Amino acid sequence: MKIIYIHQYFNTPEMGGSTRSFEIAKRLVEKGHEVNLITTLQNKKNTDNKKRWTMTNESGINVFWFPIEYSNKLNFYLRVIAFFKFAFHSFKKGLSLRGDLIYATSTPLTIIIPGFLLSFLKNKPLILEVRDLWPTLPIAIGALKNPFNIFLAKLLEKFAYKFSKKIIALSPGIKQGIIDQGISKEKVLVIPNSCDLENFTIKNHSIENIKFRKKHNISEKNLLITYAGTFGKINNIFYMVDIAEKLKNNPLITFLAVGDGADFEKVKRLVEEKKIQKSFKIIKTLPKKNMPQVLSASNISLSIFLPLKEMESNSANKFFDGLASGNMILVNYGGWQEDILIRNNSGMRLPQNIEDAAEIVSQLEKNRSKVAEFGTNAKRLAVIEFDRCKLTDKLERIIINVSKDE
């Protein structure tokens, strides 16, 4: 089967960020499908003075790249311009490609524009993948305020759900949010983010851990708590910094934050102002292929957000990478991920109160056997419920059934 896959923020393992689309597409290719993936070159150094498509083959995936600068450091209007630029150029590129099915992944929700148009003109089914509820989330964090813009965004949301043959939601909460818009529950299927067990199983585990800790001046004796993800407003890395400050007199606890984003420099300055550089390490974005070593050297993986009800339906990559690495997981939000952790003794929820959260971390440092036990349970959970190969098999069945129904 020929699949036209549209994703504005596609990453390979050599790049930083989520590689969900890469891992799914790669496995579909291995199963004999042809995947033509349309995406963007986002880095400014790659977009200057370039106005043409380039094509690469990434593990069998035909990837078509168009230069459109984008980062979460751009203001709202520049982001919107980038969204519509991609919608236009991806539609044009899609017209030149042969496909039996269109697979469009949001965010941004504007992905529905090329997805719908290509589906209509080629008379092929459209599957929409929804990674976050838009515009619910931008409204909640104050990124979308103008009443007219909100009206248009909600209109686009209803249009996207209505004209998709099937919708893939990344969590039960996202599925419910789509159903609440009047969409049939049979139309919406859940395939969460998943665990790449092959890549996150480290050979010579102990040796690699020692190397990583030595390189970053982290004692082998220390409890290492790692956040690996975006430094954005919604991620609230300042919560992690505040906990570290409370525990700065405990020499056996080290915090590590890996990533980049709008708040990167602010976080870096705050760590310096609080004089906690010894216990709070910061590493700028690493390629995804390097993350197994980082998390393997850690004891606990941290997944945190601002205290917003809307974030409880998230399907954060960092959560699943932590499971795959066999780390105990700490979250600071409720919802389906907290339920999974509690049910499987794989982690726990930290309170928003900094002193209370710091006390829990302090107790975990004293109870390393519990941390190790929860980490073992996390790895088991990754294997049983969130193996990426099994979830790709499920997606393939959906794709084949949708195509047959046409």
Q: Are 330 and 225 in contact (CB under 8 A)?
A: yes
Summarize pLDDT for 234-255 with one digit per residue, the tens. 999 999 999 999 999 999 999 9
Q: In what order do the strands lie in the sheet with 223-228?
A: 280-284, 253-259, 223-228, 300-303, 328-331, 347-349
Mean pLDDT of 94-112: 95
User: How far apart are alpha carbons 112 and 129 in whole angstroms?
Assistant: 10
Mean pLDDT of 64-83: 86
pLDDT class of 45 with cuts at 50, 70, 90? low
Q: Give the rounded percent of residues in the chain with a pLDDT score beyond 70.
A: 97
Residue 318 is assigned to a structural domain of this protein: yes
pLDDT of residue 241: 98
* DSSP-assigned states of every residue in 21-76: HHHHHHHHHHTT-EEEEEEEE-SHHHHTT--S-EEEEETTEEEEEEE----TTS-H
311 three-class SS? helix
Contacting residues for 369 by C-beta, under 8 A, at least 6 apart: none
Q: Are residues 292 and 308 in the same domain?
A: yes
Q: Are 259 and 230 in contact (CB under 8 A)?
A: yes
Residue 42 is assigned to a structural domain of this protein: yes
Say yes or no to pLDDT of 30 above 60: yes
Q: How many CA atoms lie within 13 A of 276 on its CB side?
A: 28
Q: Are residues 356 and 215 in the same domain?
A: yes
Q: Are residues 273 and 302 in the same domain?
A: yes
User: How far apart are alpha carbons 330 and 363 in whole angstroms?
Assistant: 13
Lookup result for tokens 């990559």:
317
Q: In what order do the strands lie in the sheet with 54-58?
A: 54-58, 61-67, 34-41, 2-6, 101-106, 126-130, 166-169, 188-190
Say yes or no to pLDDT of 226 above 90: yes
Please state, as a whole number, how many other Cβ atoms lie within 10 Å of the Cβ of residue 209: 18
Say yes or no to pLDDT of 295 above 60: yes
Q: Are residues 190 and 221 in the same domain?
A: no
> Dmax of the chain from CA atoms?
64
Say yes or no to pLDDT of 48 above 60: no
Residue 199 is assigned to a structural domain of this protein: no
Q: Are residues 375 and 391 in the same domain?
A: no
Say yes or no to pLDDT of 26 above 90: yes
Q: Are 295 and 226 in contact (CB under 8 A)?
A: yes
> Helix crossing, 354-366 with 368-385: angle to 10°?
100
Mean pLDDT of 221-232: 96
User: How far apart are alpha carbons 329 and 334 in whole angstroms?
Assistant: 13
Residue 117 is assigned to a structural domain of this protein: yes
pLDDT of residue 184: 96
369 three-class SS? helix
Mean pLDDT of 341-369: 98
Q: Which domain holds residue 322?
A: 205-385
Mean pLDDT of 184-189: 97
User: How far apart are alpha carbons 98 and 30 in whole angstroms?
Assistant: 19
Q: Are residues 297 and 392 in the same domain?
A: no
Q: What is the CA radius of gyration of the chain?
A: 21
Q: Are residues 294 and 156 in the same domain?
A: no
β-bridge mates for residue 348, sequence order? 330
224 three-class SS? strand
User: How far apart are alpha carbons 267 and 269 in whole angstroms?
Assistant: 5
Lookup result for tokens 């790669």:
26
Residue 255: is it exposed, middle or buried by C-beta count within 10 angstroms (0-12/13-18/19+)? buried
Say yes or no to pLDDT of 273 above 70: yes
Residue 313: is it exposed, middle or buried by C-beta count within 10 angstroms (0-12/13-18/19+)? buried
Q: Are residues 240 and 342 in the same domain?
A: yes
Q: Are residues 167 and 310 in the same domain?
A: no
Residue 315 is assigned to a structural domain of this protein: yes
Q: Are residues 220 and 366 in the same domain?
A: yes
Domain total of the chain: 2
Residue 200 is assigned to a structural domain of this protein: no
CA 384 to chain centre: 21
Instruction: Name the nearest CA neighbour of 321 among 259, 370, 273.
Output: 259
* CATH number of the domain that residue 311 is part of: 3.40.50.2000
**Amino acid letter at 184?**
S
Query: Minimum mean pLDDT among 44-48, 283-287, 303-307: which range?
Result: 44-48
Dihedral over alpha carbons 17, 20, 23, 26 (to 10 degrees): -110
**Amino acid letter at 284?**
K
Q: Are residues 28 and 76 in the same domain?
A: yes
pLDDT of residue 50: 58
> Can the peptide bond before residue 108 be classed as cis, meaning omega within 30 degrees of 0?
yes
User: How far apart are alpha carbons 392 and 11 in whole angstroms?
Assistant: 18
Residue 121 is assigned to a structural domain of this protein: yes
Q: Are residues 143 and 97 in the same domain?
A: yes
What single DSSP character describes residue 329?
A: E
